[in-house]
């Protein structure tokens, strides 16, 4: 992906001189966020489980004149969280301005009555536990410097019911509640806490072809009010807003980045009784 000319040295940089941490920042929504924050002048410290994706990200950001420090590893591992925090805190004498807790996955999914503790624990580790760990590791530095912005990546599925994903949606609802409560707790310390709730992003986790499942792409317009699937940049721009001083009086909010699907949303039982769909169904 191309980086704006000027990259980290851009005079337009909203985050010039800042240090920003992104988990799962190699590709998908996290990749878009990493690139955007670097374009706006932040030194980005990027975690990813995939060394190849991380290498590509580093090459892209550096080619655009940005500064990136990779911090590889599985964010579910507490030692990886600790290494990420140590790396970030070492960049600018213990100051970290932005933390984006992006990693999350709806898999393993399936009907709740067919799941068990092993699956729930896997979803907890992927969607909530590292959010708590990373925040616990990095927020104290923000409090100490009386400044910081934490942005969690949740999902619209935390607002509406999604069959076969009850546990994923429950943990993301927890991310939203954590966002709001922590915002209240840390407000007087100068730290803001917000979240974005994406839907229907064309990413490696949910590629456009998989979302369409053979349907006519013309149907997207009947499904997403803004008439297209989302792109990582759509999320990245909202995260940039939340990370920067433009949102200085905004805290405790979860902002859908969904092309209007929350406003229009509904899961429908199929007429033939065989499961549900949120898609324009075949006749």
Ligand X SMILES: NC(=O)c1ccc[n+]([C@@H]2O[C@H](COP(=O)([O-])OP(=O)(O)OC[C@H]3O[C@@H](n4cnc5c(N)ncnc54)[C@H](O)[C@@H]3O)[C@@H](O)[C@H]2O)c1
Choose one: 21-29, 115-123, 262-270, 273-281; the region binding ligand X (CB under 6 A): 21-29
Binding of residue 142 to ligand X (CB under 6 A) = no
Residues touching ligand X, count (CB under 6 A): 29
Binding of residue 153 to ligand X (CB under 6 A) = yes
Active site residue 168: yes
By CB under 6 A, name the one of 200, 224, 254, 255 that touches ligand X: 200
Q: What's the CA gap between 101 and 24, in Å, rounded?
A: 8
Closest separation between CB of residue 258 and ligand X, Å? Answer: 8
Query: By CB under 6 A, what part of segment 52-71 binds ligand X?
Result: 53
Choose one: 11-19, 84-92, 199-207, 247-255; the region binding ligand X (CB under 6 A): 199-207
Nearer to ligand X, 59 or 184 (CB): 59
Nearer to ligand X, 13 or 130 (CB): 130
Binding of residue 28 to ligand X (CB under 6 A) = yes
Binding of residue 102 to ligand X (CB under 6 A) = yes
Closest separation between CB of residue 84 and ligand X, Å? Answer: 9
Binding of residue 253 to ligand X (CB under 6 A) = no
So which residues are the catalytic ones?
168
Residues engaged in binding ligand X (CB under 6 A): 23-24, 26-30, 47-50, 53, 74-76, 102-105, 153, 155, 198-201, 203-206
């Amino acid at each position: 992906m191309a980086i704006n000319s000027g990259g980290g040295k851009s005079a337009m940089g909203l985050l010039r001189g800042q240090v920003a941490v992104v988990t799962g920042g190699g590709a998908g929504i996290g990749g878009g966020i990493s690139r955007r924050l670097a374009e706006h002048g932040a030194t980005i410290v990027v975690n990813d489980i995939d060394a190849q994706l991380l290498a590509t990200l580093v090459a892209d950001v550096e080619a655009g004149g940005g500064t990136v420090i990779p911090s590889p590893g599985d964010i579910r591992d507490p030692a990886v969280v600790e290494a990420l925090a140590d790396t970030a805190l070492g960049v600018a004498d213990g100051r970290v301005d932005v933390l984006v807790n992006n990693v999350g996955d709806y898999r393993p999914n399936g009907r709740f009555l067919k799941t068990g503790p092993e699956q729930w624990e896997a979803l907890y580790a992927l969607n909530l536990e590292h959010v708590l760990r990373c925040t616990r590791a990095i927020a104290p530095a923000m409090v100490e410097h009386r400044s910081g912005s934490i942005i969690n990546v949740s999902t619209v599925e935390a607002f509406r019911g999604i069959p076969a994903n009850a546990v994923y949606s429950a943990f993301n609802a927890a991310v939203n509640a954590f966002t709001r409560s922590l915002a209240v707790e840390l407000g007087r310390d100068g730290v803001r806490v917000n979240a974005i709730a994406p839907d229907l992003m064309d990413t490696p986790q949910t590629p456009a072809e998989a979302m369409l499942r053979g349907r006519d792409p013309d149907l997207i317009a009947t499904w997403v009010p803004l008439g297209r699937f989302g792109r990582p940049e759509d999320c990245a721009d909202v995260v940039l807003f939340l990370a920067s001083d433009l949102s200085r009086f905004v805290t405790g909010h979860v902002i859908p980045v969904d092309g209007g699907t929350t406003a229009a949303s509904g899961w429908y039982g199929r007429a033939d009784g065989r499961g549900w769909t949120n898609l324009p169904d075949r006749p």
